[in-house]
Amino acid sequence: MIASRLYISGADTNDVLQETRIGLWRAVEDFKDNAGTTFHNFAINVCCKRRVYTAIKASNGKKYKIHNTAESLDRPIITEDDDSGQTLADFVIDHGPTPYDIVVNNHEFQDNIGSLRSEMTSMEEQVFDSFAKDQTYNEIGAELQINPKAADNALMRIRKKAIRIYQDYQREDDEPPKKRKKRDK
């Protein structure tokens, strides 16, 4: 009876009915014989109605506005061809990278890492690999038995080389990048 007379924004009749059931359950838990009222009056007029009114108040608040006004992506789109079977999700544009972009970016990344590694000293490579494992300067120094400041200096040299390699890679003119020999210290 209550569910058929009241409306919760963004909900259907079954949702309102569920709220009244929760109110009835609360009434069973909270009812006291010596309170001076009948269970029927307490359950229907107090617990169930208050539960539904609270749900109505909450749904009308700004807190649930996005939820209550949202459209399902599975909602069928009615077009001239009624048997199209298209949904709203079919018309949403995916701005994420395409599989082609992912492959190209990965290839470019591998090329740049290869170019960078070809210009690193053996110590710089070890520091680079350790830093890639999220190790701190102190951890790198302890692992490679070097001063943490030496690890910091190696990373600074690596960063400078990486910037130059990236700039060479991005250069649009046809001039080939300068080749450097790998140094060992």
Q: Is residue 78 part of a domain?
A: no
Q: Is residue 73 part of a domain?
A: no
Q: pTM higher than 0.85 for the full model?
A: no
Question: pLDDT, tens digit, for every residue of 101-136?
Answer: 999 889 988 988 998 999 999 999 999 999 999 999
Q: Is residue 82 part of a domain?
A: no
Note down the domain range covering 11: 2-60
pLDDT classification of 183: cutoffs 50, 70, 90: low
Question: pLDDT, tens digit, for every residue of 46-89?
Answer: 888 899 888 888 877 777 677 767 777 887 777 666 666 788 88
If one counts the domains in the chain, the total is 2
- Is 73 in contact with 87 (CB distance < 8 Å)? yes
On the 0-12 / 13-18 / 19+ scale of CB atoms within 10 A, 72 is exposed
CATH at residue 139 = 1.10.10
- Identify whether residues 106 and 164 lie together within a single domain: yes
